[in-house]
Amino acid sequence: MIVVYHLNSKITAVVTADNQIVAFDFKGTIADGLHVLAQQFPDEVVIWCEVSVKEKLNLEAIPVLLHHNKIMLSYADSDFAFLGRRIGYVEESLFINTNKKVCYPTWQMSSLVGVVHASVLIAVQDKIMKEIDFDYYLNSMAKVAMPLGLLCYSEPQLLKQQQRIEGQQASIHTLFRFVKQHYKTRWIFLLFLNLMIHERSFPLLPLISSFFYRSRKNNTINLEGITVVSSKKVIGTATIDVIIPTIGRANYLYDVLIDFSKQTVLPHKIIIVEQNPEPLSKSELHYIVEENWPFIIQHFFIHQSGACNARNLALDQTESEWVFLADDDNRFEPNLLEEIFKKIKKYGSPVVTTSYPQKNEAKVFLNIVQWSTFGAGNSLVKRELLKKVRFDMALEFGYGEDSDFGMQLRNNGNDVLYLPYPEIMHLKAPIGGFRTKPVLPWHQDKVQPKPSPTVMLYILLNNTKEQRLGYKTTLFFKYYRYQKIKNPYRYFIQFQKQWNQSVFWANHLKIRP
């Protein structure tokens, strides 16, 4: 380990893990210094630490925390990250509202304390400008490299003792510059518009000055050469229980069971929750008992429809080390579970979601990355993590229950990794689903909520105020094309009523037993 101590944008000392001084020229920027050290010590991890927290630096924990080379960690216990709360007007993702109590996925890095392997710095050498502003450089590097497979986290265990330190905050000029360099150009205009509408400010000069900076999104960074061999042991017995909710898809479910029966790593048990709300209905899954299967099948037939209830019921029956959350209209190859376990072992990840394309759908992400959602039909999760999470019944028959489930996992300190391979084909079967369309409380309202109250509930639970307002602005313009009112003023009045109605019902769902 190489530890870099810094103060006021300058490196003050460089030492090894056993506190041996490393001779070093301190004249350049901190970012320059990190890259020089990476070239000098290509097999080491490079740690940066502000002098003010030198005594709190938890060096002993770093080998455990940085359990493979494609990880970047930092931490600062402050109310706002370097770019401040206004970045929420631009990005709606879960990477903005960082949970500082646990290891949480985010590209928002801090100069206070952090660590990265030298091989990552070498991979981005000359690809990202080595800014004088160290915070800007760290955030830029993480923002660019995260979609390419660098796993970035806020990690409180980097410090032995938490200390509230309000670090440097980016100016409004810096914020506009960052947005211009790391997002599509339209977002600088949306940032400007949101600041006008929601904060009554008119940052015209920062908007104009941002045009003098080039985008950093199109780059030639390649992280595939970085070795990934996790030292974290997450696989023990490698036993698997599968849960599948189903309704009216007997033929499709049969194909799913056949695919599982051909696996090179067989499930221990498959828990099927069959739903049919008709009181006198009977099960359609005769093949469960008529045929022989190489695993236990635990079958529940219930008259209550709803995927959240069905999955929660199944989760309560799991016993194995791992739980596979599947759907009744999936198809996959015989090596699916074996290949997933290989990736889990390599990355030391207890939660993974696979690629889930529909027929003829192009794959967008080709690298293993930190995922922005969660797949309730294509994920493998270590069972011990499921003791603290459940599918929220407030979201039943709505949207967002799987995203919410993923957020519960993350807020307990468990990231969700996306695996481009192996993949599960999602047939999107035309039958099944809700036999009768559920009547939700707001369906009879004169003013229909917009967005759906379940979507609004997810936003209220997980997003910052600025993210909510930014989403509202974007939805206003998106929805305008699809509704009948074309008078802008009348549309604004109606949209505001619909938004308020959505907030009302979302809060009602939140407090519902």
Locate tokens 């369906």: which residue? 443
Q: Residues 379-399: what's their mean pLDDT? A: 93
CATH topology of domain 2-169: Spore Coat Polysaccharide Biosynthesis Protein SpsA; Chain A (3.90.550)
Tell me whether strands 240-246 and 322-326 are parallel, antiparallel or unpaired.
parallel
pLDDT above 80: residue 354? yes
Pairing of strands 10-16, 71-75: unpaired
- Residue 353: its H or E element: strand 351-355
| Contact residues for 469 (Cβ-Cβ < 8 A; gap 6+) | 88, 89, 194, 197, 198
> What span, in angstroms and rounded, lies between the C-alpha atoms of 267 and 323?
9
For 94-99, what is the mean pLDDT? Answer: 96
How confident is the model over 35-40, as a mean pLDDT? 95
Mean pLDDT for 313-334 is 97
In tens, the pLDDT along 119-130 reads: 999 999 888 999
Q: Output the pLDDT for position 511.
A: 72
- The predicted structure's pLDDT at residue 203: 96
Query: In this predicted structure, what is the pLDDT of residue 434?
Result: 47
Question: Tens digit of pLDDT for each residue in 421-437?
Answer: 999 999 988 765 445 56
* CA 336 to chain CA mean position, Å: 23
Mean residue pLDDT of the chain comes to: 93
Distance CA 386, CA 374 (A): 14
Pick from 130, 155, 135: which is nearest to 6 by CA?
A: 135
Confidence bin at 27 (pLDDT 50/70/90): confident
All structural domains of the chain with their residue ranges: 2-169, 240-426, 441-511
Alpha carbon distances (Å) from 78 to 84, 98, 169:
10, 10, 11
- Residues 210-245: tens digit of each pLDDT: 999 999 876 789 999 999 999 999 999 999 999 999
3-state secondary structure of 76: coil
pLDDT at 24: 85
Under CATH, what is the fold of the domain 240-426? Spore Coat Polysaccharide Biosynthesis Protein SpsA; Chain A (3.90.550)
- So what's the pLDDT on residue 484? 85
Q: What is the mean pLDDT of residues 64-81?
A: 94
**In whole angstroms, what is the distance from residue 505 CA to residue 501 CA?**
6
Mean pLDDT of 41-57: 95
Determine the pLDDT at residue 440.
Answer: 83
Reported as a single tens digit per residue, the pLDDT across 402-418 is 999 999 999 999 999 99
- Residues 277 and 71: their CA atoms lie apart, in Å, by 48
Dihedral (CA of 397, 400, 404, 405) sign: positive
Q: 307: closest CA among 339, 338, 341, 273?
A: 273
Name 46's Cβ contacts closer than 8 Å, sequence gap at least 6. 2, 4, 34, 37, 38, 115, 116, 117, 118, 121
Q: Which comes out higher in pLDDT, residue 479 or 341?
A: 341
Token pair in block for residue 447: 């003013």
Residue of 143, 7, 145, 139 whose CA lies nearest to 81: 139
Q: With the C-alpha atoms ordered 131, 134, 140, 145, is the resulting torsion angle positive or negative?
A: positive
What string of H, E and C letters represents the secondary structure of 385-445? HHHHCCCCHHHCCCCCHHHHHHHHHHCCCCCCEEEEEEECEECCCCCCCCCCCCCCHHHHC
- Average pLDDT (130-138) is 95
The model carries a pTM of 0.93
Q: Is the distance from CB of 154 to CB of 100 less than 8 angstroms? A: yes
Instruction: Note whether 2-169 and 240-426 share their fold.
Output: yes
**pLDDT tens sequence across 245-293:** 999 899 999 999 999 999 999 999 999 999 998 888 899 999 999 999 9
